[in-house]
């Protein structure tokens, strides 16, 4: 645990008692603060009571009196589309609002660090798609290289639940826009921006607010190294703002396809190969084509970002390449879950928006595509260029018929449930086909989260593969 510094003897409230909220409450208590907690969900309040906390409604009159800070969990709106009533009360009362990420950065360094030969480092990864795989891959490379590493944030453990890093230790964080938007302290040593596509627009009042939330990690964090995916305009803009010129190697650009300017530090993914360029010269390369845990161009881009971070931490290209080949991939992200009669089954339940689904569709051919769910703003335009890879779509979700209206250009079938979708895809699949779950939608109309949706797919596939 990372005990929170700066609040000893003070009263601090925690709003939202999921994984990060309870972690923050415990870390505040460990640092000597008096933790006040609340969640609108009764079951969450009961769990907090079992952990030794006394819930107090933070929206009641006078609840903000004497508070030093309000710590808000990521799932709770603090500005758009409207602040939670507890947050609104804090804003009205002038109580500082923060989150567990802000507490982490203000509390990580201790006096013990003065005795270390190497100061611990923090690598923070954000972006719309690929940040989980990128963060996990960085962590994997570090472990394979014999370096102390911990994975936390939006993946792995809560940031305040990790152990204090030792001499030369590295903490790898995956950070969502909800987390970067609110944190009052953001000071990573290395920051990674994978890409940007339409997502969470209601929480950020549109694409500008969404990009601004991601940009805070760089503009306010001031990392020593910034690794920026530049395939989209936002990435190119961010890299331009952070760089003093094309030769400024504090900014490492990650790209796929043609890049005209190679005078700086560039990591390029093309035709299945990763190449590292420094000052106009190629200095290293890694063959990514046969790495089972990193299928498709999108994962090759993730590999480039992870490679750049590992290079910043002093790991050699040879060691990084060896570690890539040992990477098994993450659950629910282009995850192979079975094969029978020449038909492969791939679980990409994490493809919760159209842009991430498009990347999955680009990675395979002859696809039996299981899609649908709670549709997000922005529509399905990103998948259109890859519909030629789809033999047929099988649409799930409570509003499957409405979702299917976007798929008029390809054969499709309204299935509603995962059971029916998998049964129909298996019945019609031919050797060489790929049955792919890449929903291009949120899961909350039928499932608690994308993990539960992915596990349902795996279970349905198992009925056929193991029959």
How far CA 302 is from CA of 8, 258, 288, in Å, comes to 41, 17, 11
Please give the Cα distance from 383 to 369 (Å, whole number).
12
Q: Give Cα 219 distance to the centre of its chain.
A: 19
Under 8 Å between Cβ of 435 and 429: yes
Please give the Cα distance from 248 to 466 (Å, whole number).
55
SS3 labels along 113-153: HHHCCCCCEEEEEECCCCHHHHHHHHHHHHHHCCCCEEEEE
**Locate tokens 């049955």: which residue?**
435
Spatial neighbors of 365 by CB under 8 A, at least 6 apart, are 389, 434
Known binding-site residue numbers: 127-133
Which alpha helices (DSSP H) does 112-263 contain, by range? 131-144, 177-182, 201-204, 207-219, 233-242
Q: Give Cα 347 distance to the centre of its chain.
A: 17
Known binding-site residue numbers for ATP: 127-133
Under 8 Å between Cβ of 302 and 264: no
If you write DSSP's letter for every residue of 101-117 in order, what string do you get?
A: HHHHHHHS--GGGGG-S
């Amino acid at each position: 645990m990372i005990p929170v510094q700066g609040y000893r003897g003070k009263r601090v409230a925690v709003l939202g008692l999921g994984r990060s909220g309870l972690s923050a409450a415990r870390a505040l208590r460990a640092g000597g603060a008096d933790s006040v907690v609340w969640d609108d969900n009764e079951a969450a309040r009961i769990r907090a009571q079992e952990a030794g906390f006394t819930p107090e409604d933070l929206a009641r009159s006078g609840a903000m009196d004497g508070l030093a800070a309000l710590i808000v969990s990521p799932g709770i709106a603090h500005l758009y589309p409207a602040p939670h009533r507890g947050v609104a009360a804090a804003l009205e009362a002038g109580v500082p609002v923060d989150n567990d990420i802000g507490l982490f950065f203000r509390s990580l360094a201790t006096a013990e660090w003065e005795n270390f030969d190497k100061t611990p480092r923090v690598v923070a990864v954000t972006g719309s798609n690929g940040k989980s795989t990128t963060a996990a891959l960085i962590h994997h490379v570090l472990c394979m290289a014999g370096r102390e590493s911990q994975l936390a944030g939006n993946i792995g453990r809560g940031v305040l639940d990790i152990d204090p890093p030792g001499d030369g230790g590295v903490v790898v964080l995956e950070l969502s826009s909800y987390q970067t938007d609110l944190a009052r302290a953001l000071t990573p040593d290395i920051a990674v921006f994978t890409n940007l596509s339409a997502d969470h627009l209601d929480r950020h009042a549109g694409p500008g607010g969404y990009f601004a939330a991601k940009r805070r990690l760089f503009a306010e964090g001031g990392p020593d190294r910034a690794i920026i995916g530049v395939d989209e305009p936002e990435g190119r803009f961010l890299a331009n703002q952070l760089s003093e010129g094309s030769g400024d190697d504090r900014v490492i650009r990650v790209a796929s396809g043609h890049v005209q300017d190679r005078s700086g530090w560039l990591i390029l993914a093309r035709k299945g190969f990763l190449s590292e360029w420094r000052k106009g010269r190629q200095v290293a390369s890694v063959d990514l084509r046969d790495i089972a845990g990193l299928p498709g161009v999108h994962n090759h881009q993730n590999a480039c970002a992870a490679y750049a971070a590992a290079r910043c931490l002093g790991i050699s290209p040879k060691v990084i390449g060896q570690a890539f080949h040992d990477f098994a991939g993450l659950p629910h992200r282009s995850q192979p879950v079975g094969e029978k009669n020449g038909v492969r089954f791939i679980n990409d339940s994490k493809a919760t928006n159209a842009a991430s689904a498009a990347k999955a569709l680009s990675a395979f051919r002859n696809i039996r595509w299981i899609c649908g769910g709670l549709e997000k703003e922005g529509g399905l335009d990103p998948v259109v260029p890859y519909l030629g890879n789809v033999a047929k779509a099988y649409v799930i979700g409570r509003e499957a018929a409405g979702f299917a209206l976007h798929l008029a250009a390809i054969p499709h079938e309204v299935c509603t449930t995962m059971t029916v979708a998998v049964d129909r895809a298996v019945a019609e699949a031919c050797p060489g086909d790929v049955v792919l779950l890449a929903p291009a939608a949120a899961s909350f109309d039928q499932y608690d989260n994308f993990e539960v949706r992915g596990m349902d797919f795996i279970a349905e596939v198992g009925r056929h593969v193991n029959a």
